[in-house]
């Protein structure tokens, strides 16, 4: 059985036994991989900080002999450590949320190079001085689409016409906007600003190099944050743990 050699981002890790760590990586070519890092707790030198959260790492892993069992981490070398993420509590919390969402959405051994590249883009942008909350909104919007739940932000999901007005009916159940004609009492909806929905459509479908052109006020960013959080919770059927400790971080940006 041959070693798998791939680039990976560390999205999670926990202690395992007295000296090992159980690591979760999202890889470029092999989807999500959970691997045991033997002796990682006993010797800090063995993996040389390559197992720190939110690190881009080159890994070599041995596949399990029996399907469904854990991989074994043979080696790991840092490609990019993104020091600005660890230098700021806010940056680290936002990056941790994006890593957790990636962990929740990507299945083991199910290749998603697009999601890997999106997370790598986010980590890089976080170190460039960009609006990190905006980058997080972009990440969450595109991750939802890449996972198979692209929303219809600016046209009625049923008839295709653009809804009219400043507040638009939006249904998580049906996957997007509903015009007045198609909206019924049986639809579980909330109303969202038309401007916020246009901004989300821009995030979802515009090239990442052009994202810096998007300008949003605090009210629209707050509305987008709440809507995306609700959409991820709705489709995952669970609430990511990071949300429970992010209140103060988000208030700094939006209040």
What CATH number does residue 41 fall under? Answer: 2.40.50.140
Mention every residue, 6+ apart, whose C-beta is less than 8 A from residue 104. Answer: 236, 238, 240
As a whole number of angstroms, the distance between CA 104 and CA 146 comes to 13
pLDDT digits (tens, 9 = 90+) for 101-122: 999 999 998 999 999 999 999 9
Asked if residue 217 and residue 148 are part of one domain, the reply reads yes
Q: How many structural domains is the chain composed of?
A: 2
Burial (CB < 10 A; 0-12, 13-18, 19+), residue 80, is middle
Looking at the domain assignment, is residue 93 inside a domain?
Answer: no
- Model confidence at 17, pLDDT cuts 50, 70, 90, reads confident
116 and 54 belong to one structural domain: no
User: Do residues 31 and 111 lie in contact, with contact meaning Cβ atoms separated by under 8 Å?
Assistant: yes
Q: What local confidence, expressed as pLDDT, does residue 10 receive? A: 97
Query: Is the same domain home to 72 and 154?
Result: no
246 vs 84, higher pLDDT: 84
Question: Would residue 95 count as lying in a domain?
Answer: no
Check residue 130 and give its pLDDT.
66
Residues 177 and 62 in one domain: no
Whether 102 and 143 have beta carbons less than 8 Å apart is answered as: yes
> What DSSP element (H or E) covers 140?
helix 132-146
- Helical packing angle, 89-105 and 247-254, nearest 10°: 120
Domain membership of residue 94 (yes or no) is no
Query: Are 132 and 24 in the same domain?
Result: no
Residues 76 and 108 grouped into a single domain: no
Q: What residues contact residue 252 under an 8 Å CB cut-off, 6+ apart?
A: 90
- Residue 92, domain member (yes or no): no
Question: At 15, is the pLDDT very low, low, confident or very high (cuts 50, 70, 90)?
Answer: very high
Query: Same structural domain for residues 67 and 134?
Result: no
Q: Is residue 43 part of a domain?
A: yes
In order of 49, 91, 93, 211, the CA distances from 81 in angstroms are: 9, 13, 16, 24
Looking up residue 196, the CATH number of its domain turns out to be 1.20.1440.120
Tell me, yes or no, whether 162 and 64 share the same domain. Answer: no
| Within-domain flag for 210 | yes
**Domain shared by 183 and 121, yes or no:** yes
Give the model's pLDDT for residue 187. 57
- What's the rounded mean pLDDT across residues 92-98? 94
Q: Does residue 108 share a domain with residue 51?
A: no
Which structural domain range is residue 127 located in?
104-254
Q: What is the pLDDT of residues 142-194, one digit of tens each?
A: 999 999 999 999 999 999 999 999 999 999 999 999 998 998 766 567 899 99
Domain boundary, last residue among 46, 81, 116: 81
Band (pLDDT 50/70/90 cuts) for residue 253 is confident
Domain boundary among 81, 115, 146: 81
Same structural domain, 59 and 147 = no
Q: How confident is the model at residue 217, as a pLDDT?
A: 92
Q: Can you tell me the mean pLDDT for 62-73?
A: 87
Judged against a pLDDT cut of 90, whether residue 44 lies above it is answered with: no
Structure tokens at 126: 């976080």
**Which tokens hold the place of 220?**
């629209």
pLDDT tens, 211-244?
Answer: 889 999 999 999 999 999 999 999 999 999 998 8
Smallest CA-to-CA distance from 124 within 55, 47, 26 is with: 55
Per DSSP bridges, beta strands 190-193 and 56-62 are unpaired
Question: Among 5, 2, 1, which Cα is nearest to 60's?
Answer: 5
Q: 146 and 237: one domain?
A: yes
DSSP label of 152: B
Q: Which residue has the higher pLDDT, 64 or 116?
A: 116
Mean pLDDT of the chain: 91
Q: Is residue 97 situated within a structural domain?
A: no
Beta-sheet strands, E only, within 56-163 = 56-62, 71-80
Predicted pLDDT at 186: 61
Look at residue 99 and tell me if it is in a domain: no
Tell me the HSE value of 84 on the side-chain side, using a 13 A CA sphere. 11
Distance CA 74, CA 128 (A): 32
Give me the count of residues in the chain: 255
Quick: pLDDT tens for 47-58.
878 999 999 999
Provide the pLDDT confidence category of residue 197 given band limits of 50, 70 and 90. very high
């Amino acid at each position: 059985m041959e070693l798998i050699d791939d680039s990976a981002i560390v999205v999670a890790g926990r202690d395992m036994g007295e000296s090992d760590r159980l690591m979760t990586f999202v890889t470029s070519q092999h989807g999500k991989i959970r691997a045991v890092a033997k002796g990682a707790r006993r010797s800090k030198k063995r993996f040389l900080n390559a197992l720190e959260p939110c690190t881009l790492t080159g890994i070599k892993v041995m596949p399990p002999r029996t399907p469904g069992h854990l991989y074994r981490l043979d080696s790991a070398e840092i490609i990019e450590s993104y020091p600005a993420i660890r230098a700021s509590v806010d940056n680290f919390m936002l990056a941790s949320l994006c890593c957790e969402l990636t962990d929740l959405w990507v299945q083991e051994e199910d290749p998603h190079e697009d999601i890997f590249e999106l997370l790598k883009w986010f980590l890089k942008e976080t170190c460039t001085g960009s609006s990190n909350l905006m980058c997080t909104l972009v990440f969450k919007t595109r991750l939802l689409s890449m996972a198979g739940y692209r929303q219809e932000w600016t046209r009625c999901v049923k008839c295709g016409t653009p809804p009219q007005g400043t507040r638009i009916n939006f249904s998580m159940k049906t996957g997007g906007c509903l015009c007045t004609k198609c909206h019924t009492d049986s639809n579980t909806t909330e109303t969202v600003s038309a401007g916020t929905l246009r901004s989300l459509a821009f995030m979802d479908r515009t090239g990442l190099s052009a994202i810096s052109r998007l300008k949003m006020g605090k009210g629209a960013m707050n509305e987008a944050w709440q809507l995306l959080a609700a959409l991820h919770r709705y489709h995952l059927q669970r609430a990511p743990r990071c949300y429970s400790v992010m209140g103060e971080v988000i208030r700094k940006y939006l209040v």
